[in-house]
């Protein structure tokens, strides 16, 4: 007997972020991950980018659950926006669930008994889906690959992973189990993380970073060391705590998310250090610089993050001086290069020494490079393969690797957001494409394509508003002109009298000779003002004409 499985990709294919897929079997649905994407520099004012949930909402009575591979924002961050409309259970590691809980409850959504904490290797029936949670190593603790056992074979989703043979918490990727599934049931379809599919070799073990961090503490005994990393990177924080303890330093945590995730991780026992190692940031000044390590968020130069504020001298608790040493224990996410460089330069202006992963081994990626991806392909030996979690170039590189590893070319599909694929006894095919637009969050959620175009134009050109008051055939007072982002104050003062007199003239003429109505007056004001501005400045700001009738 064979059964069809449909998979719909709502995000994550063609971009890094907003990972979300829907699996359908026997008329029931299972959602895998529900993440956000962080905005690109060409999305001014946007806080977050979400998958379009229309497809899920249209079928919400068919959904049996949401499975979470791990607790990164690109996998759990959009849950508050989905759960307000869909009342289903969440399945994931306790850590992933607790990370997700904060934002969901902040959004005022009650979780009552919706969270089901899953243990390593556990196999659960979720509706008709037979789902197994297989441990993998990644840059966040307790990450899972997901195997969905079906009568047509197993669908294996790697989640985000690397093959870390000496993980900090000693929780290893269960390659043995993946091999066993491949041998006993056969993996009909492998979906795997493509983030580093263009990087040769093997990703360094996370534990290799610990010794560098320890050496930095030891070689700078007179300096306070400030380390910026992701708050969810519990293994990095564990190694920092170990190195701090060994070098006689106390640890101060800064950043709301840093304090929160450390407290969750300690509470559930995946981060271990004595409580007296921690000090409040307020009391850090009472210690000699060489006695303190500050672990901070803000490794991406985010504008309001603690590190950015520290670098610009805007933090009330500590002031950075030449007695500080700053480590960016991260890699720069594409798009953030300028912000990070700005923070680094602000630090350099204060004669603060700064290092990052370009100059020292202070970071290891959480994603598998080609060597590990080839290893997974070999162990899984899937019949079909779809690269996921990556930009188009990563997906292509991963598809090429799968072909080299022996997956038949016809059995490899490169998909994009919105693609619906069908896996059946006949193989695998793209059967449909649904809309999968970016859904933007800027305070509220909405479709903002036109808005963003306007914002980019306003940012490039500025805006000029002209208000004309008319009564009958007469213009009352002077036209009122106000502008933003177009001219400097002094230039504007020189230009305005001229513009006002020209506008008065043309509007009066139009009123008397053409008996012009409001629409016509607006059109004339816009045309004349744009012309004047271009003649005077060679610029083309947005001109907004307004007419008030008295």
Q: Does 164 bind Zn ion (CB under 5 A)?
A: no
Residue 162 DSSP symbol: B
Q: Which stretch binds Zn ion (CB under 5 A): 82-90, 157-165, 234-242, 449-457?
A: 157-165
CB nearer to Zn ion: pick between 370 and 383: 370
- SS3 string, 110-130, reads CCCCCEEECCCCCEEEECCEE
User: Quick one: which segment of 66-74, 300-308, 453-461, 473-481 binds Zn ion (CB under 5 A)?
Assistant: 66-74
Chain positions 165 to 194 lying near Zn ion, rule: CB under 5 A, are none
- Give the nearest distance from C-beta 186 to Zn ion in angstroms: 27
Q: How far apart are CA 155 and CA 240, in angstroms?
A: 38
Enter the tokens of residue 155: 């669908």
Which of 74, 206, 356, 528 is in the footprint of Zn ion by CB under 5 A? 74
Beta strands in 450-499 (DSSP E): 463-471, 474-484
Task: Report yes or no: 145 and 136 within 8 Å, Cβ to Cβ.
Answer: yes
Q: Evaluate whether 514 touches 533 at the Cβ level (below 8 Å).
A: no
The minimum distance between CB 340 and Zn ion, in angstroms, equals: 20
What is the closest distance, in whole angstroms, from the C-beta atom of residue 354 to Zn ion in the complex? 26
d(CA 15, CA 439): 14
Q: Which stretch binds Zn ion (CB under 5 A): 68-76, 97-105, 199-207, 244-252?
A: 68-76
Contacting range for Zn ion; rule: CB under 5 A; set: 73-81, 291-299, 325-333, 347-355: 73-81
Q: Tell me which stretch binds Zn ion (CB under 5 A): 152-160, 281-289, 344-352, 423-431.
A: 152-160
Looking at the DSSP bridge assignments, the partners of residue 67 are: 32, 91
Taking contact as CB under 5 A, which single stretch among the options 74-82, 231-239, 393-401, 493-501 is the one that binds Zn ion? Answer: 74-82
Closest by CA to 21, choosing from 198, 195, 230, 193, is: 193
E strand or H helix at 256, and its extent? helix 256-267
492-501 contacts, C-beta under 8 A, 24 or more apart: 495/536, 495/537, 498/532, 498/536, 499/529, 499/532, 499/533
Nearest-approach distance from CB 366 to Zn ion, in angstroms: 6
Beta carbon of residue 425, minimum distance to Zn ion (angstroms, whole number): 32
Q: Which of residues 404-463 bind Zn ion (CB under 5 A)?
A: none
> Segment contacting Zn ion (CB under 5 A): 64-72, 282-290, 469-477, 527-535?
64-72
Measured from the CB atom, the residue of 74 and 206 that comes closer to Zn ion is 74
Residue 436 Cβ, how far from Zn ion at the closest point, in Å? Answer: 17
**Minimum distance from CB of 355 to Zn ion (Å)?**
24
Query: Minimum Å distance from CB 19 to Zn ion?
Result: 6
- Rank residues 160 and 372 by Cβ distance to Zn ion and give the closer one: 160
Instruction: Indicate the SS3 state at residue 474.
Output: strand
Neighbours of 317 (CB within 10 A): 15
User: Nearer Cβ to Zn ion, position 18 or 370?
Assistant: 18
Q: How far is the CB of 126 from Zn ion (least distance, A)?
A: 22
Residue 206 touching Zn ion (CB under 5 A): no
The arrangement of strands across the sheet holding 48-50 comes to: 48-50, 439-442, 444-446
How does strand 90-92 pair with strand 63-67? parallel
CA distance 134 to 152: 20
Pairing of strands 123-126, 143-150: unpaired
Nearer to Zn ion, 74 or 528 (CB): 74
The least CB distance from residue 364 to Zn ion, in Å, is 14
Q: Contact between 372 and Zn ion (CB under 5 A)?
A: no
Count residues near Zn ion (CB under 5 A).
3
Q: Which is nearer to Zn ion, 72 or 114 (CB)?
A: 72
160 lies in the binding site for Zn ion (CB under 5 A): yes
Least distance CB 37 / Zn ion (angstroms): 10
In angstroms, the CA 158 to CA 180 distance is: 15
Contact in structure between 235 and 364 (CB atoms under 8 Å): no
**Which residue number, 72 or 398, has a Cβ lying nearer to Zn ion?**
72
| Positive or negative torsion for Cα 503, 504, 507, 510 | negative
How near is the Cβ of 411 to Zn ion at its closest, in Å?
Answer: 25
Options 9, 52, 72, 132; binder of Zn ion; rule CB under 5 A: 72
Other residues' Cβ atoms within 10 Å of the Cβ of residue 502: 15
Q: Which stretch binds Zn ion (CB under 5 A): 50-58, 70-78, 254-262, 264-272?
A: 70-78
CA separation for the pair 286, 251 (Å, rounded)? 13
Please report whether residue 528 would count as binding Zn ion according to CB under 5 A.
no
Is residue 527 a contact partner of residue 448, using CB atoms and an 8 Å limit? no
Query: Of 168 and 521, which has the nearer Cβ to Zn ion?
Result: 168
* Distance from C-alpha of 77 to C-alpha of 89, rounded to nearest angstrom: 16
Binding site for Zn ion (CB under 5 A): 72, 74, 160
């Amino acid at each position: 007997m064979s059964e069809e499985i449909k998979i719909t990709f709502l995000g994550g294919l063609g971009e890094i972020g907003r990972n979300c897929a829907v699996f359908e079997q026997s008329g029931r649905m299972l959602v895998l991950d529900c993440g956000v994407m962080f905005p690109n520099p060409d999305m001014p004012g946007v806080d977050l980018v979400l998958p379009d949930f229309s497809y899920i909402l249209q079928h919400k009575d068919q959904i049996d659950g949401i499975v979470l591979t791990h607790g990164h924002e690109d996998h759990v961050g959009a849950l508050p926006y989905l759960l307000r409309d869909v009342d289903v259970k969440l399945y994931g590691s306790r850590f992933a669930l607790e990370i997700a809980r904060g934002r969901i409850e902040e959004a005022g959504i009650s979780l009552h008994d919706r969270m089901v904490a899953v243990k390593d290797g556990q196999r659960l029936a979720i509706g008709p889906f037979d789902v197994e949670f297989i441990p993998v190593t990644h840059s966040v603790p307790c990450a899972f690959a997901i195997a969905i056992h079906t009568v047509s074979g197993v669908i294996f989703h790697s989640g985000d992973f690397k093959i870390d043979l000496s993980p900090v918490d000693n929780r290893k990727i269960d390659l043995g189990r993946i091999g066993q599934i491949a041998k006993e049931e056969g993996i009909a379809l492998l979906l795997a993380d493509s983030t580093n599919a263009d990087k040769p070799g093997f990703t360094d073990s996370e534990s290799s970073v610990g010794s560098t961090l320890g050496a930095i503490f030891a070689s700078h005994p007179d300096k306070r060391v400030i380390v910026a990393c992701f708050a969810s990177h519990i293994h990095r924080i564990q190694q920092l705590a170990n190195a701090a303890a060994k070098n006689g330093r106390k640890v101060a945590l800064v950043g709301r998310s840093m304090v929160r995730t450390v407290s969750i991780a300690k509470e559930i026992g995946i981060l271990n250090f004595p409580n007296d190692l921690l000090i409040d940031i307020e009391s850090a000044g009472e210690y000699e610089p060489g006695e303190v390590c500050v672990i901070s968020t803000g490794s991406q130069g985010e504008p309001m993050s603690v590190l950015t504020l520290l670098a610009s001298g805007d933090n009330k608790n500590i002031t950075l001086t030449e007695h500080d040493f700053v480590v960016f224990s991260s890699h720069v996410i594409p798009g953030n290069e300028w912000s990070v460089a700005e923070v680094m330069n602000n630090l350099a202006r204060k004669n603060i020494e700064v290092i990052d992963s370009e100059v020292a081994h202070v970071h290891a990626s959480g994603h598998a490079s080609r060597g590990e991806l080839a290893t997974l392909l070999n162990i899984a030996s899937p019949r079909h393969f779809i690269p996921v979690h990556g930009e188009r170039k990563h997906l292509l590189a991963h598809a090429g690797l799968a072909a080299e590893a022996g997956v038949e070319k016809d059995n490899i599909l490169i998909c994009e957001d919105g693609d619906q694929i069908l896996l059946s006894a006949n193989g695998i095919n793209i059967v449909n494409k649904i809309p999968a637009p970016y859904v933007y969050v800027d305070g509220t959620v909405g479709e903002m394509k036109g808005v963003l175009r306007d914002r980019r134009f306003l940012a490039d050109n500025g805006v000029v508003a002209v208000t004309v008051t008319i009564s009958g055939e007469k213009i009352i007072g002077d036209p009122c002109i106000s502008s933003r982002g177009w001219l400097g104050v002094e230039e504007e003062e020189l230009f305005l009298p001229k513009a006002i007199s020209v506008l008065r003239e043309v509007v009066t003429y139009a009123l008397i000779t053409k008996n012009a109505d409001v629409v016509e007056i607006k059109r004339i004001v816009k045309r004349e003002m744009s012309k004047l501005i271009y003649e005077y400045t060679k610029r083309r700001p947005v001109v907004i004409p307004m007419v008030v009738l008295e």
